[in-house]
Chains A and B, each alone.
Chain A
Amino acid sequence: MFKYLKQLFSLVAMVAVLFTFTTETMAAKKSKTLKNTQKKGFVRCGVSQGLPGFSNADAAGNWTGVDVDVCRAVAAAVLGDANKVKFTPLSAKERFTALTSGEIDILSRNTTWTLSRDADIGLTFVGVNFYDGQGFMVRKSSGITSTSQFKNGISACTNIGTTTELNMRDFFNSRGISYEPVAFEKADEVVAAYDAGRCDTYTTDKSGLAAQRTKMKNPDEHIVLPETISKEPLGPVVRQGDSVWEDIVRWSLNTMIEAEEYGITSANADSMKTSDNPQIKRLVGAEGEMGAAFGLDNEWNLRIIKQVGNYGESYKRNIADTGILPDRGPNELWTKGGILYVPPSR
């Protein structure tokens, strides 16, 4: 009798253990990053040290920008509050180490997606939130209006630790122009040195040039040349090895872009729940079980749209209205002549 009781007891215990395991969703169990984030109560996000329009802190320490909004979207999705983000400003040099060492969980810092970065160093790029290309800035007074006027001996200021250094070499080499690369660790010093006249040209991503121009002593004295010498798809990055977290970040970004496509904004998101279009209903959590696969509730995407807005709202607020790049160019939706095209949420 006693023997059976003991067996019964262990059986009950086993069932209980199994039950607790299954109630906690498989996804959340698999994703260490998600679990840690929910436990800590904030998303750890790596951003730039100050690039207007992308990630920039005001005097009170509030971060704004399209890169910042990606992290806010993830916070809205997994924690329910877009403000629960801890931002860590990183130099170009520090950024990947900070991510791979686990100091941050998302790197959203105008980072170019390249093969070697994706494949080599333990990172995974989840998408593109800004299509960019490298360009050159010169002083208007120099009379240069095209890169074809560059001559031997030109000095070019830029940042270290970026794809810029490599593109610059490819560009000048292919044209047989000898040049002096002057590479600084921080963007502020690059701007200061170029502004002082140390370099004839300043080269980085065109969005960066447009943003940094606003910081110069006299922005009107400088122009960005029309040529684009490289493809720079910028996007958020996560650590390799946590595919659920990777999916959460990817689909948080996709949700923002797709919401714009279907005309869902932070203002009308709630009313869209009763839309006739099933795709719209899925995007606001009124149809299907879109969050279950990530271990999230069903309104994760609604929260993103309500708290952060769609991609168009984010772009307008951060980049267009601040006068950095009023024209969306390639960063317009595919339906409006741009190349923003994301897989459907379904």
Chain B
Amino acid sequence: MNFKLKDIGPQLITVLAVVLVFGFFTYNAQVNMENRGIDFGYGFLSQESSFDVQFSLIEYDGSHSYFRAYLVGLLNTILVSVIGIILATILGVIVGIARLSPNYLINKFAAFYVEFFRNIPLLLQIFFWYFAALRALPLPQDAEPMFGISFLTIKGLFVPAFIWQNFNVFFYSIVAAIIAIIVIRAHAKKKQETIGKQTPVLLISIGLLLILPLLSFLIGGVRLSFEIPVLKQLATTSFIYEGGVSLPPELIALALSLSLYTATFIAECVRAGIQGVGKGQKEAAASIGLTPNQVLKLVIMPQALRIIIPPTTNQYLNLTKNSSLAAAIAYPDLVLVFAGTALMQTGKAIEIVSITMFTYLSLSISISILMNWYNRKIAIQEK
């Protein structure tokens, strides 16, 4: 009996202390809010927001609810995080491998890039890219067309919009191609394991991805046309492009600075991962006659990934959370739209900040779960 009490006593006290501290803060907040006549409640979420947002992935204007405004901000945060993660990963892997290159110039250039970008505060980099881009980019009327159809201007990147007919047929053809590729790959792997014959999977995959969608155009009745942005005059010296799709410069600057910054850390993860694989592994692989590509693909990478994935997960989380710096350059992310404008218009500080915190927590945990799952999948399965 005594033994048990000694065992759980400290834990009970800890739990009690945590409950008391939280209880005190909750009680304190309640009393203070009551004294100052502030109501608490989430009812405002269904009220009309009555403010507009510059850039939204879903239909939204001021006549929609605050909840809808929250979704707009959340989707914009996810959008810039996903773009940032993809770009940072590609760039990070390239730079990480380049740092190990025997070529002096490539090696030093990659090292310079890493040291330069990871040692300047991110907010400064965001300001730099945004205002440098604003100063450097041409006004809409002076913009040179890229490939004759796209325009990069101070007011954003204007690209043609796709106008589809029978888009669903095209979509199904892509899905069918992907399913076929998965089946063929599984089949080819089995074939190699049983009778040792290799199948040119890559060629077949590319072929399928080209032929099936092409067929959908030829016999499926799919038609694609483009809506090219056209210059429109607003006033003597003020122009804008109409039609097509426009990406605001705020999104471009933010995605660029986030990925340039995070890529430096990912590059270091990649370098550490590759260097973490024993030299003997590479030599042994070469000695059994594998080509350099096969050595990298079959021997080095599977072992390096185990070292690379966990710290890279941290970088993905950092990038997602850093995207909240968007507020500084007017990119309408969750913090600017919801914890900014919506908070100001409603005055519901505790409610909105708690929702925002919970949202970032959920986003980060989702990324963690996904990456942990991937990590388990590629980890060495001990038999």
A interface, CB within 8 angstroms of B: 92-93, 96-97, 100, 116-117, 120-122, 138-139, 141-144, 149-151, 153-155, 157, 160-162, 165-166, 168-169, 173, 179-186, 189, 192-193, 196-198, 200, 239-241
- Chain B interface main SS type: mixed
Residues of chain A with a CB closer than 8 A to B53's CB: 181
Q: List 30 A-B contacts (CB under 8 A).
A: A120-B347, A121-B38, A122-B38, A142-B237, A143-B235, A144-B236, A150-B234, A151-B235, A154-B234, A154-B238, A160-B336, A160-B341, A160-B344, A166-B50, A166-B62, A168-B52, A169-B50, A180-B54, A181-B53, A182-B248, A183-B54, A183-B332, A183-B336, A183-B340, A183-B341, A184-B328, A189-B329, A196-B131, A197-B134, A240-B36
Residues of chain A with a CB closer than 8 A to B242's CB: 153
Bound CA span A162–B102, Å: 57
| B240: interface (CB < 8 Å) | yes
CB contact between A181 and one of B52, B235, B340 (< 8 Å): that residue: B52
Bound CA span A116–B250, Å: 31
| B287: interface (CB < 8 Å) | no
In the complex, are the beta carbons of B62 and A142 less than 8 A apart? Answer: no
In the complex, are the beta carbons of A182 and B344 less than 8 A apart? Answer: no
In the complex, are the beta carbons of B237 and A143 less than 8 A apart? Answer: yes
Digitize B220-244: 1 where CB-to-A-CB distance is under 8 Å, 0 elsewhere. 0000000000001011111010100
In the complex, are the beta carbons of B249 and A169 less than 8 A apart? Answer: no
In the complex, are the beta carbons of A142 and B236 less than 8 A apart? Answer: yes
In the complex, are the beta carbons of B131 and A192 less than 8 A apart? Answer: yes
| B286: interface (CB < 8 Å) | no
B interface, CB within 8 angstroms of A: 33, 35-39, 50-54, 62, 131, 134-135, 139, 154-155, 232, 234-238, 240, 242, 248-250, 327-330, 332, 336, 340-341, 343-347, 349
In the complex, are the beta carbons of B237 and A122 less than 8 A apart? Answer: no
Least Cβ–Cβ distance between A202 and chain B, in angstroms: 13
In the complex, are the beta carbons of B344 and A96 less than 8 A apart? Answer: yes
Residues of chain B with a CB closer than 8 A to A160's CB: 327, 336, 340-341, 344
Least Cβ–Cβ distance between B251 and chain A, in angstroms: 12
Residues of chain A with a CB closer than 8 A to B349's CB: 96-97, 100
Bound CA span A162–B134, Å: 25
Least Cβ–Cβ distance between B21 and chain A, in angstroms: 19
CB contact between A184 and one of B33, B240, B329, B347 (< 8 Å): that residue: B329
The residue of chain B having its C-beta at the shortest distance from the C-beta of A157 within the complex is B330
Bound CA span A183–B249, Å: 13
In the complex, are the beta carbons of A100 and B36 less than 8 A apart? Answer: yes
Residues of chain A with a CB closer than 8 A to B332's CB: 183
Bound CA span A151–B234, Å: 6
